[in-house]
Amino acid sequence: MRLRSALRERPGTRTMQDRLVWQAASLLLAYPDDGQAERLDIVDELLGHINGPVAELLEKTVTALRAREPMAAAVDYVETFDMRRRATMYLTYWTAGDTRNRGREMLAFASAYRAAGVQPPRTEAPDHLPVVLEFAATVDPEAGRRLLTEHRVPIDVLRGALAEANSPYEPTVAAVCATLPAVTDQEVRRAERLAKAGPPAESVGLQPFTLTVPPRKGTPSV
């Protein structure tokens, strides 16, 4: 992993600390498949280089996931992120919702990846939070931070939904929020409105669009 080798460079800088948090969060927010144990081991390694309260937040998720049986963890993941609209990790769902604008916004993610010299993932949508975190951690931290900051409100809505559900993933999303600029009062109000009313929608004239990359099964309908 590119980021693990970079630990020998300047692990104490703010940018490197944030990249470590993003990489750990990307691994923890992945679907708990057969590679889960290995991902948790990598996160443990990364935690050895992360300082402050964010390390404690990530450790909470690690501890909770290690305590769960694989099948139970998989069921919980699907129920949490695929069955609850407010807990979706597809960031453009909250900024564009069921409108034609979502295709354009997803293209913006894909374009950012290509501008950094990498291709969008083939097995996941480019706005999926773990994908964005992986990009920010291992490819282009500046562009990645911009994408995350621009979608801070959706990330806050996600964190709130996970907190209400008492989800073990909430501390990890909270750790991601801690790496981003503090929210303004206006952003707080917008997050509250989104959480209450849901994403934007068009009732007429909606035309289908083609996603930049195939979405994972369970993507909220658009």
For residue 135, the model assigns a pLDDT of 96
The pLDDT of residue 100: 62
Cα separation, 86 vs 186, in Å, equals 20
pLDDT tens for each residue of the chain, 222 residues long: 455 544 544 555 789 999 999 999 999 999 999 999 999 999 999 999 999 999 999 999 999 999 999 999 999 999 999 887 788 899 988 766 555 667 788 889 999 999 999 999 888 999 999 999 999 999 999 999 999 999 998 898 899 999 999 999 999 999 999 999 887 666 566 656 665 655 555 433 333 323 333 334 444 433
Domains and CATH numbers, the chain: 13-197 (1.10.3480)
Q: Whole-model pTM above 0.85?
A: no
> How confident is the model at residue 198, as a pLDDT?
57
How many residues belong to the chain? 222
pLDDT of residue 209: 29
Q: What's the rounded Cα separation, in Å, for the pair 98 and 92?
A: 10
Answer whether 23's CB lies under 8 Å from 137's CB. yes
Distance, CA of 43 to CA of 53 (rounded, Å): 15
Q: Please report the pLDDT score of residue 94 as a whole number.
A: 73
Q: In this structure, what are the phi and psi dihedrals at residue 31, rounded to the nearest 5 degrees? A: -60, 130
Q: Count of alpha carbons within 13 Å of 218, Cβ hemisphere only? A: 19
CA–CA dist 90, 119 (Å, integer)? 18
pLDDT for 114 = 96
Nearest CA to 85 out of 73, 94, 76 is that of 94
**Helices within 91-151 (DSSP H only):** 92-95, 101-115, 129-138, 141-150
